[in-house]
């Protein structure tokens, strides 16, 4: 970037054409005179290089004035820089991996497969927001701490599977409490939990509302998502004699509990009855929890006055030297 700090001095440049006209009119009166009886013998005398060069003297003086005027206007060269200020968001995704998540009312696979697919899309759509993963069945486990390495997080998410029989169940309180523990010491401007489940709290030692109150204490906002179609859903069962078969299991989501958790922490409750609706919910949460980015632009200027003034003074010295030596005019 280039600018003049005192552009009002540039109006002085308007005087240069007037000075040029004045020099041109006075060019014949600036020298001496000598009388000759005839000039016919001088008509064919060629004009020397020294004479041609001396005719440029007025232009040299005008150049000196122009450079000095430009220097007075304080030319400056600037470089623009951006200062990016971000308010980060720490997010922990809490995923139900109880056996009921095998219900195949979500396509193309089952509830867990759909939840993992949509969660992966959500993760890959974030920028500069640490994200962690907690899973829960009858117990809760932290699968991945807060990280910006989304590749590793997605890999862990894809390897997540249904809880085994030894820890099956739906410990919503434990899952929420584990996520709160991950976020309580965070210094981020915004702390968010996204809890997804398809059932009712029937295991664990921590009451879900108590966990929500703790989350509220640490200013952690919780979005709860209930997944499952209305009525009943087909759940696969493996029979030793007849192989894989399906049984219809009633969809039982404790929506009142999930609404209370969300309301206590300042979040929202969503209900997803299919994969498209689940994807829409995550997109909505993504919009609600956008990282605020503030860009401050500032420009640093370097003074160029010395270069213009120095060039003008150099031309002046050259004129004085040539005018009193090589281009000196006598008489």
Mean pLDDT value across residues 247-259? 93
Q: Is residue 191 located within the same domain as residue 317?
A: no
**DSSP string of 93-130?**
EEEE-SGGGG--SSSSS-HHHHHHHHHHHHHHT--S--
Is this model's pTM higher than 0.85 or not?
Answer: no
Is the confidence at residue 142, as pLDDT, over 90? yes
**Per-residue pLDDT reduced to its tens digit, 261-299:** 999 999 999 999 999 999 999 999 988 887 655 556 667
Domain assignment present for residue 36? The answer is: no
Range of the structural domain that residue 217 is part of: 89-290
Closest CA to 147 of 159, 155, 158, 136: 155
Q: Is residue 73 located within the same domain as residue 203?
A: no
Q: Is residue 171 located within the same domain as residue 202?
A: yes
Is the confidence at residue 305, as pLDDT, over 90? no
Find the range with the poorest average confidence among 29-38, 50-59, 134-143.
29-38
Domain assignment present for residue 162? The answer is: yes
Number of domains in the chain: 2
Domain assignment present for residue 328? The answer is: no
112 pLDDT tier (thresholds 50, 70, 90): very high
Percent of the chain past pLDDT 70, that is, above it, reads 83
Q: Is residue 99 located within the same domain as residue 206?
A: yes
Is the confidence at residue 29, as pLDDT, over 60? no
Q: Is residue 230 located within the same domain as residue 310?
A: no
**Per-residue pLDDT reduced to its tens digit, 155-186:** 999 999 998 888 899 999 999 999 999 999 99
Q: Is residue 176 located within the same domain as residue 232?
A: yes
Q: Is residue 169 located within the same domain as residue 259?
A: yes
Is the confidence at residue 150, as pLDDT, over 90? yes
Domain assignment present for residue 207? The answer is: yes
Domain assignment present for residue 329? The answer is: no
Backbone angles phi and psi of 136, in degrees to 5: -150, 145
**Radius of gyration of the chain, Cα coordinates, nearest whole angstrom:** 41
Is the confidence at residue 229, as pLDDT, over 70? yes
Q: Is residue 10 located within the same domain as residue 116?
A: no
Q: Is residue 157 located within the same domain as residue 244?
A: yes
Q: Is residue 154 located within the same domain as residue 172?
A: yes
Domain assignment present for residue 41? The answer is: no
172 and 135 in contact (C-beta within 8 Å)?
A: no
Domain assignment present for residue 246? The answer is: yes
Is the confidence at residue 188, as pLDDT, over 90? no
Residue 243 belongs to a domain with what CATH number?
3.40.50.410
Count CA atoms closer than 13 A to 139's CA, side-chain side: 8
Domain assignment present for residue 32? The answer is: no
How high is the pLDDT of residue 114? 95
**Per-residue pLDDT reduced to its tens digit, 52-103:** 666 666 777 788 888 888 988 988 887 766 665 566 789 999 999 999 999 9
Q: Is residue 150 located within the same domain as residue 247?
A: yes
Q: Is residue 147 located within the same domain as residue 272?
A: yes
């Amino acid at each position: 970037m280039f600018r003049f700090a005192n552009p009002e001095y540039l109006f002085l440049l308007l005087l240069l054409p007037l000075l040029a006209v004045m020099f041109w009119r006075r060019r014949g009166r600036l020298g001496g005179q000598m009388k000759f009886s005839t000039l016919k013998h001088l008509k064919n005398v060629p004009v020397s290089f020294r004479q041609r060069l001396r005719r440029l003297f007025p232009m040299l003086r005008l150049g000196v004035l122009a450079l000095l005027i430009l220097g007075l206007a304080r030319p400056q060269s600037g470089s623009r820089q951006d200062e990016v200020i971000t308010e980060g968001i720490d997010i922990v995704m809490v995923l139900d991996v109880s056996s009921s998540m095998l219900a195949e009312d979500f396509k193309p696979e089952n509830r867990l497969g759909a939840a993992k697919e949509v969660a992966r899309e959500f993760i890959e759509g974030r920028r500069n927001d640490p994200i962690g993963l907690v899973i829960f069945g009858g117990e809760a486990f932290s699968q991945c701490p807060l990280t910006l390495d989304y590749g590793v997080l997605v890999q862990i998410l894809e390897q997540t599977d249904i809880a085994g029989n030894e820890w099956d169940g739906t410990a919503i309180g434990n899952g929420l409490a584990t996520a709160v523990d991950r976020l309580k010491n965070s210094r981020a401007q915004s702390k968010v939990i996204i809890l997804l489940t398809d059932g009712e709290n029937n295991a664990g030692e921590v009451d879900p509302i108590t966990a929500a109150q703790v989350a509220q204490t640490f200013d952690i906002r919780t979005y709860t998502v209930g997944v499952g179609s209305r009525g009943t859903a087909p759940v696969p069962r493996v029979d030793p004699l007849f192989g894989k078969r399906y049984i219809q299991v009633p969809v039982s989501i404790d929506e009142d509990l999930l609404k209370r958790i969300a309301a206590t922490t300042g979040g929202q409750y969503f209900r997803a009855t299919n994969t498209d609706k689940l994807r829409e919910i995550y997109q909505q949460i993504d919009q609600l929890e956008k990282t605020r980015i503030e860009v401050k632009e500032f420009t640093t200027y370097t003074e160029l006055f010395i270069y213009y003034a120095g060039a003008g003074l150099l031309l002046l010295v050259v004129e004085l030297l040539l005018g009193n030596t090589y281009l000196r005019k006598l008489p």
